[in-house]
Amino acid sequence: MAPLAIGIDIGTSGSRAVAMDADFSIAAYAAAPLDRFGANGRDPAVWWAAVEATLKELFSRIDRMAVRAIAVDGTSGSLLPIDGTGRPLAEPLMYNDKVPDAAILAPIASAAPEASAAHGATSGLAKALWQQRVPGIHAVLHQADWIAGQFSGRFDVSDENNSLKTGYDAEARRWPDWIAATGMRMELLPTVVEPGSVTGRLTTVAADLFGLPRDVAIVAGTTDGCASFLATGAAAAGDGVTALGSSLTIKILSDRPIFAPRYGIYSHRLGDMWLAGGASNTGGKVIAEHFSLARIVALSAAIDPATETGLDYYPLGSAGERFPIADAALQPRLLPRPQSDADYLKAMLEGIAAIEALGYRRLAELGAPRLTSVRSVGGGAANAAWTAIRQRKVGVDFLPALSDEAAAGTARLALKGAKEAGLL
């Protein structure tokens, strides 16, 4: 009976889970949409119902007695207030929710170091300060923490990645003293451990619910973004991952932290390594404003990626860029428009590829290691012509991603915890 680790990804639209063998191969996959269990996708009861349904489907496809460890990833910066039993006391504030209260934001701006990820109206710390006003509050937890607590019964622990936007100092590996100066009640913040650390064992209730062995280890997870990186198999300093979704996001594994708030860059700690990156306002959303998916597929087949159009595009949907150029007034460049739709699409693909290349150079300028390889995820990764253009612009080997499922990255953390606990 080959041992298995379970990775759970709880996102904005649904729950996904992967069962992974010790050699990192995926034994089974299952998913469930949140809207099957309620209209309110920010209701923790809906999250848990989706996770429960996902796991019951997953376990029907494997030998559940082979499960050794479980880890969870969630959306970064999503927080909820709980009582002493782990019961949510108010609706969570999600990753993109803003806290517009100047009485909360001003103390953070004053006390937090410039490089801290706790700045801004959507930060975890701003949400924690807002939520500490809730009557009867015992603690604030991140989304992944709360789901993990349903398995372990612990509602007092988080991981270094989810805690970053709440003000955690990943270099010193502690909650910094300046947080108290913002008015935050420090006793409400969870204990923080390294992703992949064992935080407990499966409760009797959870073991009975899923028919699992009672000695299954519950392992500290991570954010959805970090999990997506880990899922690709990138593991060495200089390995980069480009996400080609509605926006363009690039990340590189570094031997040192990179913090550059001006460019929206901060670093998550992954053991003794760091995951640094930034997100541009360019990406698939800009292309979709001009062409349907079917048209993109048809036009891409007519593109010769080995030649240049000679057009210097900077595809944006509107004015403003954050990374790799920090300019709130930067104007889109999508002119002149060639007569051929294929050339127009090609010029946009070239422009986004040039931004990707500049992004990796910018990270290197800020102290990241030399880029050695790129793995690609997201819908754009399937476009062969674009991949060839990107490889020519970026100038390093493009390697296949082992998986584009965040749950697979989290399963890798579960494997790490299981090995350290002697369960594999």
pLDDT in tens, 50-100: 999 999 999 999 999 999 999 999 999 999 999 999 999 999 999 999 998
Which tens digits make up the pLDDT trace of 315-341? Answer: 999 999 999 999 999 999 999 999 999
User: What does the block give as tokens for 347?
Assistant: 């010029």
CATH number, span 235-399: 3.30.420.40
Domains of the chain by residue range:
4-226+406-420, 235-399
pLDDT higher than threshold 90 for residue 38: yes
Distance set, CA 44 to CA 71, 87, 201, 407, 410 (Å): 17, 9, 22, 19, 20
Mean pLDDT along residues 40-57: 97
**How many Cα neighbours within 13 Å face the side chain of 258?**
23
Compute the distance between CA of residue 256 and CA of residue 265 in angstroms, rounded to an integer: 13
Q: By the 8 A CB rule, do 57 and 30 touch?
A: yes
Q: What angle in degrees, to the nearest 10, is found between the helix axes of 406-420 and 224-231?
A: 80
Nearest 5 degrees, angle CA 68-CA 73-CA 79? 130
The reply to whether 4-226+406-420 and 235-399 are identical in fold is: yes
Task: Describe the chain by its helix, strand, coil percentages, rounded to 5.
Answer: 35, 25, 40
Would you state the pLDDT for residue 12? Answer: 87
pLDDT higher than threshold 90 for residue 424: no
- What mean pLDDT is reported for the chain? 96
Name the pTM for this structure: 0.93
Mean pLDDT along residues 174-192: 98
**Residue 296: band (very low, low, confident or very high) from pLDDT cuts 50, 70, 90:** very high
Report the amino acid identity of residue 101: D
User: What does the block give as tokens for 403?
Assistant: 């998986």
User: What does the block give as tokens for 298?
Assistant: 């048809």
pLDDT higher than threshold 90 for residue 371: yes
User: What does the block give as tokens for 331?
Assistant: 């104007």
Q: Which fold has domain 4-226+406-420?
A: Nucleotidyltransferase; domain 5 (3.30.420)
- List, in sequence order, every beta strand (DSSP E) within 132-259: 139-142, 157-159, 191-193, 198-201, 217-223, 239-244, 248-254
Mean pLDDT along residues 300-313: 97
**Residue 369: band (very low, low, confident or very high) from pLDDT cuts 50, 70, 90:** very high
Would you state the pLDDT for residue 315? Answer: 98
Would you state the pLDDT for residue 1? Answer: 79
Mean pLDDT along residues 204-231: 97
